[in-house]
Structure 1
Amino acid sequence: MNATFPGLEAGIVPTDAPVEKIQASVVPDSDDTKAVIAYTLTPLFVLFGVLVGCYLLYRKRKGSSFAELANGEASLSRPPSAGAGIDNESGVLVAQVTLCEVRARGRFGAVWRAKLGQRDVAVKVFPLQDKQSWVAEQEIYRLSRMDHPDILHYIGVDKKGDNLQAEYWLVTAYHEKAHTLSWAEAWRVAACVSRGLAHLHEEDGSKPAVAHRDFKSKNVLLKADMSACIADFGLALVFVCGRGCGDAHGQVGTRRYMAPEVLDGAINFTKDAFLRIDMYACALVLWEISSSEAGIEPSAQYRLPLEEEVGSHPSLEEMQEAVVQRKMRPHIPPQWHNHPECWDHDAEARLSASCVLERVAAQRPASTPLTTPLTPDTTPLLIHELAEQQMC
């Protein structure tokens, strides 16, 4: 700060002046000292006040609206309170989310078993570089009519840390391990998978059609009552009337479950094309569900689709050769009914999810209801873990 103080100007004297007078003249009086201190400290106090005000405004904005969570600016983590759970008016969590143990790891981060108050929940933790996937997934969960028994129950989101240490949480219902499937249970899981996918693909009123784009057994969770729900919408695509597919990339998903046209890079960027891609993956998941059913080839070891042909970790080129060029599909035992329409090489020949649901319903075991009631989200499993239990 370039300020001119009268006391200092009075101290400028000719060079031939006596030394005693120079020393006396440069010593400011008490009023001058106070002026110097005031001019120096006042801007500092003002700056400090501005910083405090900005911080308080930032904290207020973080807790002001649950809707702001899509931008990562608010936190659901609050001190524990007597009303642990969700505030029905604001939609904000009022209990601390505490991570307990890692249950799975995937491309976009780790999935933890956690505690929300006294309740078990699942927390999918996205690193900073995958923030866009965190934003995309919660946008799918917040679509109209996504609160469905065959769709994983969504609770909320959270942001932890700042700058390069930031991570993003997606909080959902938690589902623990179950057991080997009986025929009735396998049928129920297949019915829930078909119905959940049909609900996603349906365009009804305020709900747009949604293509999952990474449908596989690891993204199907089993509840405690052996009903199932679909999870993981990080790559999902929403089709709004009058809008295109945006900048959607065609070759996404898990290689083993990619339809021939995806592997071959020959996708038509239309709603129907993306829904048919889901149906190819659905056929493989239904094949896995049938393979997990107790009593069907009990001596056979569980394998992922085409695992015998391409191994446990196939490359994109290996999948292209097997699925596109050689048109290979998983082996169907003689005692199974052969319905290959879902994984037909010709995308337009594949069944829709609603047609699959009708066919699965026709196979309903006696005394097994088709309608699956809403059940408390307490604790069940990933379908692929059934195989691991059978092998143990």
Structure 2
Amino acid sequence: MQMKVLCDETMTLDPPRRTLLMLLTALGLTQATQTPPEQPQEDGQLPLILGPVLALLVLVALGALGLWHVRRRQEKQRGLNSELGESSLILKASEQGDSMLGDLLDSDCTTGSGSGLPFLVQRTVARQVALVECVGKGRYGEVWRGLWHGESVAVKIFSSRDEQSWFRETEIYNTVLLRHDNILGFIASDMTSRNSSTQLWLITHYHEHGSLYDFLQRQTLEPQLALRLAVSAACGLAHLHVEIFGTQGKPAIAHRDLKSRNVLVKSNLQCCIADLGLAVMHSQGSDYLDIGNNPRVGTKRYMAPEVLEEQIRTDCFESYKWTDIWAFGLVLWEIARRTIVNGIVEDYRPPFYDVVPNDPSFEDMKKVVCVDQQTPTIPNRLAADPVLSGLAQMMRECWYPNPSARLTALRIKKTLQKLSNGLQKPKVIH
């Protein structure tokens, strides 16, 4: 009886709808016995509408998935092309004979993070540097002047026992915003094989005047030049110490080995701070103090009393900044001794030259700084110059025994800038 009713109903439909209805009935998607005789067309239209809609949704989903895969592949390809393009751009620029390294590092063709060139380009540059002459040696290794497509660069080659310092400097330069006129410009870092041995290279801008230590031994200074050196060094230290917030920000950094040998003199007679192998970083957001993994200590001659007494709070970032300020006061003292006042100037000497040996021990420095509580003698002639008398007062405020009472780098920078206002363009006196 049911089959007869079904046949009667389907016979009233046009052939395509009749075929579809019979197929759906056979699949159990509709119940012919429950369909009122007066609405056969409406029930037949429901699956007819749902079928194409479902098919369309499936097609849209597949299309979206395919588009996502295509875009992801394109992004990866663009990233690779970008790095290769940067390398090509550098090579092309060098062929034109222009001094392009500084421009490239400051332009939009780098990563934009202020951390130097991308790793692929760093390796390309490192493998094309030719070493020319050794310009310095120390406990860390050697510094060479190198040539890269006709342009001078500095190559710091670390000894194998100081691998942690190389790793630390590479880590800091590649992860934080350090592009600043008064911080040594980083170009590349690489582990390279030369003469059947592995060498750890750090490639930076080259400054022919060398370190402030070397410069002060060769030159005497007019007060204007003395302040130019001091202000620029203070600007570099203030940039290190400050935390910059934002996606392109930087953590606060304490140097921990500040001294005249780690301050370089640029061709424009401004200073830039170098050697971040002992630096510590701190971010207020996470309150994480990153002290690295370097067992090396700073330079004994420049150690603050709390370091010599081993009472520094190693869990407090401010403590490390205070030790930088102590050392910076000693650098100011070195500058002041070589500054001419009323035709009088002294030979270069390192801090505490008159009370400790050339290579003082930890105990030598502890006795002078902590037990005897001595600070370097400030030349009386500085009091005759209103600007240099301000410099002398600043040194004393950097050497307070109580670390928290010392000046901040920002206060030093602002005070020095105020002292230098209105001064004439500096000149070197031979």
TM over 0.5: yes
Distance 1:326 1:265 in 2: 17
Length, aligned pairs only: 301
Q: TM-score, normalised to structure 1's length?
A: 0.69
Task: Note the 1:320-335 alignment, pairs <5 A.
Answer: 320-335=366-381
Matched, 1:242 2:274: no
Distance 1:168 1:250 in 2: 18
Alignment partner for residue 209 of structure 1, among 234, 252, 271?
252
Give the equivalent residue in structure 2 for 1:161: 193
Gaps of 5+ in 1: 1-63, 68-76, 371-385
Give the equivalent residue in structure 1 for 2:301: 256
CA RMSD of aligned residues (A): 3.2
Q: Give SS of 1:159's match.
A: strand
AA partner of residue 110 (structure 1)? E
Give the equivalent residue in structure 1 for 2:311: 266
Give the equivalent residue in structure 1 for 2:360: 314
Q: Give SS of 1:215's match.
A: coil
Give the equivalent residue in structure 1 for 2:66: none
Does structure 2 retain, via aligned residues, the 8 Å contact 1:216–1:282? yes
Give the equivalent residue in structure 1 for 2:156: 124
- With over 3 angstroms needed to count, the CA separation of the structure-2 counterparts of 1:171 and 1:105, relative to structure 1, is same
Q: TM-score, normalised to structure 2's length?
A: 0.64
AA partner of residue 236 (structure 1)? A
AA partner of residue 397 (structure 2)? E
Distance 2:342 2:158 in 1: 39
Matched, 1:361 2:417: yes
Q: Give SS of 1:261's match.
A: helix
Task: Note the 1:2-151 alignment, pairs <5 A.
Answer: 82-84=92-94, 88=109, 91=118, 92=121, 94=124, 96-151=128-183
Does structure 2 retain, via aligned residues, the 8 Å contact 1:128–1:165? no
Give the equivalent residue in structure 2 for 1:301: 347
Distance 1:275 1:192 in 2: 18
Please state which structure has a larger fraction of its residues in helix. Answer: 2
Does structure 2 retain, via aligned residues, the 8 Å contact 1:99–1:115? yes
Q: Give SS of 2:257's match.
A: coil
Q: CA deviation at 1:246?
A: 5.0
Q: CA deviation at 1:232?
A: 0.5
Distance 1:284 1:297 in 2: 23
- With over 3 angstroms needed to count, the CA separation of the structure-2 counterparts of 1:335 and 1:180, relative to structure 1, is closer
- With over 3 angstroms needed to count, the CA separation of the structure-2 counterparts of 1:303 and 1:367, relative to structure 1, is closer
AA partner of residue 298 (structure 2)? G
Gaps of 5+ in 2: 1-79, 95-99, 111-116, 210-214, 383-388
Q: Percent identity?
A: 36
Does structure 1 retain, via aligned residues, the 8 Å contact 2:155–2:204? yes
Q: CA deviation at 1:369?
A: 8.5
- Tell which deviates more after alignment, 327-336 or 135-144: 135-144
Does structure 2 retain, via aligned residues, the 8 Å contact 1:250–1:262? no
Q: Give SS of 2:166's match.
A: helix
Higher relative contact order (CA 8 A, sep 6+): 1
Q: CA deviation at 1:341?
A: 1.0
Q: CA deviation at 1:140?
A: 1.9
Does structure 2 retain, via aligned residues, the 8 Å contact 1:184–1:365? no
Q: Give SS of 2:180's match.
A: coil
Deviations 1:306-354 (A, max 9, x none): 1011132111110000001101111112233242110111111111001
- Tell which deviates more after alignment, 295-304 or 206-215: 295-304
- With over 3 angstroms needed to count, the CA separation of the structure-2 counterparts of 1:249 and 1:156, relative to structure 1, is closer
AA partner of residue 202 (structure 1)? V
Q: CA deviation at 1:182?
A: 2.0
Distance 1:81 1:152 in 2: 23
AA partner of residue 128 (structure 1)? S
Give the equivalent residue in structure 2 for 1:200: 240
Distance 2:343 2:205 in 1: 33
Give the equivalent residue in structure 1 for 2:19: none
Distance 2:342 2:196 in 1: 50
AA partner of residue 268 (structure 1)? R
Does structure 1 retain, via aligned residues, the 8 Å contact 2:282–2:290? yes
Q: CA deviation at 1:164?
A: 8.4
Give the equivalent residue in structure 1 for 2:11: none
